Structure 1
Amino acid sequence: MDRLYNIFAFSEEEPLIFTQADFWIFFAAVYFIYALIYNKKYLRSLYIFLISLLFYYKTSGLFIGILIFSTINDFFLGKAIYNSKSKLKQQFLVATSVLINLGTLCYFKYAYFFTDSYNSLAGTDYKVINHLALWTNNLAGVDYFTVDSIVLPVGISFYTFQTISYCIDIYRKQLKPINSIIDFGFFVSFFPQLVAGPIVRASEFIPQIKQEISISKQDFGRAVFMILKGLIKKMIFADFIAANFLDRVFDAPEMFSGFTNIMALFGYSLQIYGDFSGYTDIAIGIALLMGFTLPKNFDSPYKATSCGNFWKRWHISLSTWLKDYLYIPLGGNRTGSIATYVLCSLFIFWLLLAMKSYTFVFIAIGIIILGLLLTLLFPNINKHFTTNINILLTMLIGGLWHGASWKFVIWGGLNGIGILIYKYWRRISPYENSNSKLSLIWKIAITFLFITFTRVYFRGNSMEHISKQYYQIANNMDLTNALAVLQEYQLVFWVMLAGYITHWLSYSLKDKIETLFIKSHFILKVIAAVITGVLCYQTYASDFQPFIYFQF
């Protein structure tokens, strides 16, 4: 009973994570009660909403207040947008939703980034103060909250995007508002995907809330298969190689040869895929056990034949969200908009101001004016310029979504450039329409190498560490000791090889394996689950590692 109490009580040191036994005890208790009430729709929604709030409280403590605020705010704004007869008022209400949600997100996620950028420009030394905590302490007459730091609430980027899209979809008349705040809270806070996605659209998920729940043997088998697959990805292909190899190299890249740093980059590509797609697989499996379907978030991304194709396969829910709510409103591949030029100017000035060079600022002003004149005088240039800027802006903002640091902006920008290069290369490439396997392998290899080597900006602890890693790769390959490195970390490299082989298996073979598991006898499923559990919990070499995307 003490163990059960500790599982359901909040503890900063012991949040509920899918890879911990405590979570599965928690889920078993939750599922037992759910099995008794799942056919009573209102009670089911209320129960899952409360359990989701408990799960988030267990993960983030009193930051649950931000989640509840976001839920209440957009529930009533959505209703107001739908009931309003004035187009202008609807636009005002949508803008209010966007500003409140993005304002809250920016306050918690980008306060340090903006403050550091301003300090760098003005030569000041302003410190970040948590004014929300200060206000709350003064209001309550206590000193409970720390005011000299701002902590990022887990999952805020995910549920913020969900609530924004809800109000926008109502404004676009693609969705009617939910009548029950309990059902809306259920949609916003559904615990399997709450803290790390996938980002769920209201139009896809809300209809499921009112449906009758029916879990077939096939659904059960697929759910278990997804959970076991996710655990293997996370605990073996991600955590094991991170704890035993990657963390050592990325923490001190100058201590390792260029060859070792390259192998670490390849390892990180596998780690982040195993970590994030593993979480998604488990989330999809848990939701399916409860009778709900979450969207697919990964589609063998390292089979991508171009950078653009990669982003149609990686974190699909974010990519499609950015396309529908940012790229297309900016003008997409048709034209630009006022927002295009505003955002573009802000990014340029922000970068140049961070460089503390007013000369570059004036040069940038001249370039922008020249670019605008050229686009006005030459329509063909205008189309290429504006559509390409839309792509770059989308990728830059996508990079900034991942983290409040210039290294994430650079990472997003590099991916945008990669998309643009291929956009024009495909027009003259003699291999674009080739059906040969050699051509396909070549395109996959080039794309994989580009994605892997730009990820140093995603994983590197700092710009200093990133420069050291690139330096070692360029100047200290030390291939004479490559065999010794392979022997020293041979188990890690065997695991990496197994991970990539399973990733590059054909879709048909993967489908056959999944179908075979689903159709297998219940006893065989239990045996597979036990073997997977033992194997996973025997491979970790240190404490449980949180999922990488918890920080976003």
Structure 2
Amino acid sequence: FENKENSLKAIAAINLMTVMLLGGLWHGASLNFVIWGGLNGVGILLYKFWKNWSPVIRAFILGLLFAILLVWYHYQALALVKILLVWTGILCLGTFIRLFVSVIEKYSPGMDKFFFFSSKGMGMVWGVFQTFVFITFTRLFFRSGSNLDPAEANRIAWRTARDMIDQIGGQWNLQLIPQMLWEYRYVFILIVFGLFVHWLPEGFKRWYRINFALMPLWLMAIIVVITVFVVYQFATAGLQPFIYFQF
């Protein structure tokens, strides 16, 4: 039974990667879209393993990976290695903090009542943050070629994504952070609003979902269209056609 279960897991993993790669090709027949789909597939597969590991195993694996990347960066200071090193370091920090909190919870009953200070609450917040970082990184490959002809995307989009990776992994100018926050203030406001809605009490979210479902179909359609249009224009900070209208 164990061999059969492992075979099913392997088949499921292959199917998942196939779907994600085909999803990338659906967006455009170029290498950058394939990489985008592949990265998302790898992320999902890693999470499937990650959620079954204990905090101790997570801390050990991330600590080992961080040490390897640190040595690699010492001898070969590549931009991509620097990005992986920083991200792994952030993952290590969160994992060790959660491990520390879980140990305290074990010997301090009742601490888990404070959700956001519990290991479960911290894991949820940290997971949302890390997912946001990972998805943002994969979008480098998606957005760099989303408005290009497939024949040009293989040449221009790949170079654009590579240049962005070199810039992110190069010399950081922290003085630009306030300027970036201000220039993209509407985007960040939208992100904060989305996180706020995500963490609303379940009872309240259930209430407005039920009331929305009870609306007439025509009213639901109008609300959906208006919401999608407003959010998209708000996020892009400029009036432009919705990308999927191009298909």
Q: TM-score, normalised by structure 1?
A: 0.25
CA distance in 1, matches of 2:51, 2:194: 30
Shift of 1:391: 2.8
1:404 partner letter: A
Structure-2 residue corresponding to 1:100 = none
Relative to 1, partners in 2 of residues 1:485 and 1:417: Cα closer, same or farther, differing over 3 Å? closer
1:442 to 123, 126, 138: 126
| Offset from partner CA, 1:471-519 (integer Å, 9 cap, x none) | 2211143112312332344344334432442344344322334556789
Could you tell me how far apart the structure 2 residues matched to 1:438 and 1:518 are?
Answer: 32
Note the 1:32-71 alignment, pairs <5 A.
none
* Counterpart AA for 1:400: L
Q: Secondary structure at the match of 2:33?
A: helix
Query: Which residue number in structure 1 is paired with residue 245 of structure 2?
Result: 550
User: Equivalent residue of 1:479, what SS?
Assistant: coil
Q: Taking structure 1 as reference, are residues 508 and 449 closer, same or farther at Cα in structure 2, changes over 3 Å only?
A: farther
Equivalent in 31, 42, 50 of residue 417 of structure 1: 42
**Cα distance change of structure 1 residues 541 and 387 upon mapping to structure 2, 3 Å threshold:** closer
Q: Note the residue ranges of structure 1 that are not aligned, 5 or more in a row.
A: 1-333, 336-379
Aligned pair 1:494/2:178, yes or no?
A: no
Q: In 2 relative to 1, CA 507–384 (structure 1 residues): closer, same or farther, beyond 3 Å?
A: closer
**Rg: which structure is higher?**
1
5 Å matches for 1:24-35? none
Cα deviations across residues 2-60 of structure 1 (Å, max 9, x unaligned)? xxxxxxxxxxxxxxxxxxxxxxxxxxxxxxxxxxxxxxxxxxxxxxxxxxxxxxxxxxx
* Counterpart secondary structure, 1:436: helix
CA contact (8 A) 2:144 2:158 kept: yes
1-side partners of 2:237 and 2:126: how far apart? 36
Alpha-carbon separation, structure 1, partners of 2:42 and 2:20: 9
Against the structure 1 CA distance between its residues 495 and 414, is the aligned structure 2 distance closer, same or farther, given a 3 Å change threshold?
A: closer
1:407 equivalenced with 2:91 (yes/no): no
User: 2: CA distance between counterparts of 1:517 and 1:486?
Assistant: 34
- Count matched residues: 164
1:446 Cα deviation after fit: 2.4
- 1:451 is aligned to 2:135: yes
Distance 1:491 1:414, change over 3 A: closer
Change (3 A) 1:519 1:423: closer
Cα displacement string for residues 345-384 of structure 1 (whole angstroms, at most 9, x for unaligned residues):
xxxxxxxxxxxxxxxxxxxxxxxxxxxxxxxxxxx7x776
Q: Counterparts in 2 of 1:506-517, with a 5 A limit?
A: 506-514=201-209
Contact 2:17 2:42 in 1 (8 A): yes
AA in 1 matched with 2:47: Y
**Displaced runs of 4 or more, over 4 A:** 382-387, 514-520, 536-543
Normalised by the length of structure 2, the TM-score is: 0.50
- Closer, same or farther in 2 for the Cα pair 1:506/1:547, shift >3 Å? farther
- Other structure's SS at 1:475 match: coil
Q: 2:14 — aligned with what?
A: 389
Aligned residue for 2:179, secondary structure, equals helix
Structure richer in helix, relative to its length: 2
1:237-386 mapped onto 2 (5 Å cutoff): 386=11
Residue identity matched to 2:140: V
Q: Write the distance in 1 (CA, Å) between the matches of 2:190 and 2:11.
A: 45
Contact 2:186 2:237 (C-alpha < 8 Å) held by counterparts = no
Gap runs ≥5 in structure 2: 59-101, 103-118, 146-156
Q: Which residue of 2 aligns with 1:460?
A: 144
**Contact 2:36/2:139 (CA < 8 Å) preserved in 1?**
yes
Q: Which letter maps to 2:177?
A: A
